[in-house]
Amino acid sequence: MSQTKIAPRSAVPDSFSGSNPTQTCRETLLTYEPLDAPFGVVVRGIEWRDGPPDPEVVAELTRAMRRHLVLVFRGQPSPSHDRANAFWSGFGPLVMDTPDGQFHYNRFSTEKAVNNVLRNKDGGNLVVAGDEGMVELGWHNDQSHKPQFKKISVLENVRFGAGAVPTAFRDMYTVCELLPAEIKARLGGKQGIFFDPRLPGPDKLPRLCDAMHPVLAAHPDSGRRAVFGSDWTMFRIAGMSEADSKSTIAWLRDFALENAPYYEHFWQEGDICVWDNFGVQHRRNHQEPGVERIMRLHEGVAEG
């Protein structure tokens, strides 16, 4: 796995006092400590409470997310599902359902989607490695097979035993900015065709796609462009021959592997990682069986 060497970013620049590397925001008293990595920052001082978060906290954490891409909340009590849902809903919905609250093809996916996923007693889902281990998860943006962009993802570590695999992140904004000009021009107006890989293919469940997104997509709030699409959900680039589409997707994958700033997160118990799911992709290796690795997905209303 290649790793681009880029110095860690300094802490969030606005309204801060204190000395490096940890900086405290005067207004919200949140503290920030950049990771020893190309991106990512540890945040302390969040108070979980009922109801939505303060607008100043949302604004500040949004700025921090734009700059650092991955926020690691560390050394804090675990929030109840209701409190976590209320807090993070202030940043946009965590599960991108259709207006009636149901994913169109949900009934086709519930059986397979729950592999290794258990309902937590107070809501949310737990992903448990257990006796079976877990298959490798390739680079992806969560829920990229759905029509709306999921802007943030929230994942909490409950247990990270010896031998548990880390979660890796990579910065696809920088990949987009490093693309050669002629590739950018060629892909500028192109749309990717996405399918949910857990569903029957279009031959068995006839449909044109589950979602279409620009290959070089602009974040709905910031406008910053990223190379978008998961290795296993973007099947084709519309408007290209099948051969062209295949070779272009393969080229983009190689380019991203070679150039993406990369960070591997070894979870500490209780860490809650919140990341920009639009411009940051994540993956993990195959998990050997018999290792304690329990993760909690804070997704608001869970699927299925």
Q: Which residues bind Fe ion (CB under 5 A)?
A: 142
Ranges assigned E (strand) in 106-210: 117-119, 125-128, 137-140, 152-160, 167-171, 191-194
Instruction: Give dist(CA 71, CA 54) in Å, integer.
Output: 18
- Give whichever of 8 and 92 is closer to Fe ion, judged by the CB atom: 92
- Tell me if 172 sits within 8 A of 156, measured CB to CB: no
- Give whichever of 81 and 140 is closer to Fe ion, judged by the CB atom: 140
Smallest gap from residue 142 Cβ to Fe ion (A) = 4
Smallest gap from residue 172 Cβ to Fe ion (A) = 14
Ranges assigned E (strand) in 35-166: 41-44, 70-73, 117-119, 125-128, 137-140, 152-160
- Give whichever of 42 and 154 is closer to Fe ion, judged by the CB atom: 154
- Give whichever of 142 and 171 is closer to Fe ion, judged by the CB atom: 142
The closest residue (CB) to Fe ion is 142
The angle at the Cα of 110, spanning 104 to 113, to the nearest 5 degrees, equals 110
Smallest gap from residue 14 Cβ to Fe ion (A) = 30
- Tell me if 103 sits within 8 A of 146, measured CB to CB: yes
Smallest gap from residue 54 Cβ to Fe ion (A) = 28
Token pair, residue 212, equals 């279409």
- Give whichever of 57 and 168 is closer to Fe ion, judged by the CB atom: 168
Token pair, residue 4, equals 């681009």
